[in-house]
Amino acid sequence: MPLKLYGVLRSRATRPVWTAMELGLDFEHVPVIQAYRLKDPAAPDAPLNTASPAFRAVNANGLIPAMDDDGFVLHESFAIGLYLARKHGGPLAPRDAKEEGLAVMWALWGMGLEADALAIVQKREPEAAAARLRAPFAVLDAALAEGGGHLLGGRFTVADINLAEVLRYAQPATALFEKRPHIQAWITACQARPAFQAMMRKREAEPA
Ligand SMILES: N[C@@H](CCC(=O)N[C@@H](CS)C(=O)NCC(=O)O)C(=O)O
């Protein structure tokens, strides 16, 4: 199969896998697991993991997700989703340079929130992290109100996938969302999509 997406779904691999499922792509999912989740990642019977030489040959950074599209290799979850949308087109993809600029802008902006969102889901001083997210949440809420419930083009795109998958980590901080009705409605709609639900079912089926 030409397209391979590497990375268990208890990782940022959810982003490109959800994107590929939205696009209806035929792809091979290679469930490379994080080395730190294994007792002995170098054991002969260890599953393919982020320290395995075979995976390091795909992504020398030793991080998931990674992609191999018929020999074209990418790492970085947001870059992979943006590439897949751009390659396969349709409503999920940016339609012109302005939409492309917005999709990249929101991905980079989302990356800036990721550490705090992760702190919330991983319960590492979550109150402080939620407090830091209050100001950017106000910005996003206003942008969604102005954009008719989406980040660009008044429709669901890869930009929504990328950012919704950052904000999912912050969802245990329910008050953050309750105060921002446009974010709440947007993430609820994103997570109601059949492709998101199918991806999450696949994720739940993976070993914890
Ligand atoms: N900026 C990268 C971050 C990738 C990353 O940190 N991946 C984690 C899992 S979500 C990982 O592979 N960790 C493996 C390890 O540290 O051994 C992206 O968005 O793809």
Q: Provide the CATH number for the domain around residue 117.
A: 1.20.1050.10
Which pLDDT belongs to residue 59? 98
Same domain, 75 and 102: no
- CA nearest to 65, candidates 55, 75, 56, 54: 75
Domain assignment present for residue 200? The answer is no
In a domain, 204, yes or no: no
Dist CA 67 CA 86 (whole Å): 15
Where in the sequence is the domain holding 158, given as residue range(s)? 97-195
Q: 121 and 176: one domain?
A: yes
Query: What pLDDT shows up at residue 208?
Result: 85
Distance CA 169, CA 79 (A): 19
Q: What is the pLDDT of residues 135-179, one digit of tens each?
A: 999 999 999 999 999 999 999 999 999 999 999 999 999 999 999
Q: Atom 6, ligand 1: which residue's CA is nearest?
A: 63
User: Which CATH number fits the domain that encloses residue 27?
Assistant: 3.40.30.10
Hey, which of 32, 39, 63 would you mutate to test ligand 1's pocket, going by the most ligand atoms within 8 Å of its Cβ? 63
Q: Is the pLDDT of residue 126 over 90?
A: yes
Report residue 155: phi and psi, to 5°.
-145, 165
CA distances from 107 to 30, 100, 104 (A): 24, 11, 5
Question: Number of folded domains in the chain?
Answer: 2
Is 127 part of a structural domain of the chain? Answer: yes
pLDDT digit string, tens, across residues 42-95: 999 999 999 999 999 999 999 999 999 999 999 999 999 999 999 999 999 999
- The last residue of one of the domains, among 90, 114, 148, is 90
Asked if pLDDT for residue 121 goes beyond 80, the answer is yes
Angle between helices 181-191 and 126-146 (to 10 degrees): 90
Of 90, 118, 148, the one marking the end of a domain is: 90
**pLDDT confidence of residue 51:** 98
**Do 67 and 141 lie in a common domain?**
no
Residue 1 has pLDDT above 80, yes or no: no
Mean pLDDT within 106-127 = 98
Ligand 1 shell residues, CB under 6 Å: 11-12, 34-36, 50, 62-65, 76-77
In the chain, % of residues over pLDDT 90: 98
Q: Is the pLDDT of residue 187 over 70?
A: yes
Q: Indicate the residue among 33, 59, 90 that finishes a domain.
A: 90
First CA to last CA distance, the chain: 27
CA of 158 to the centre of ligand 1 (A): 20
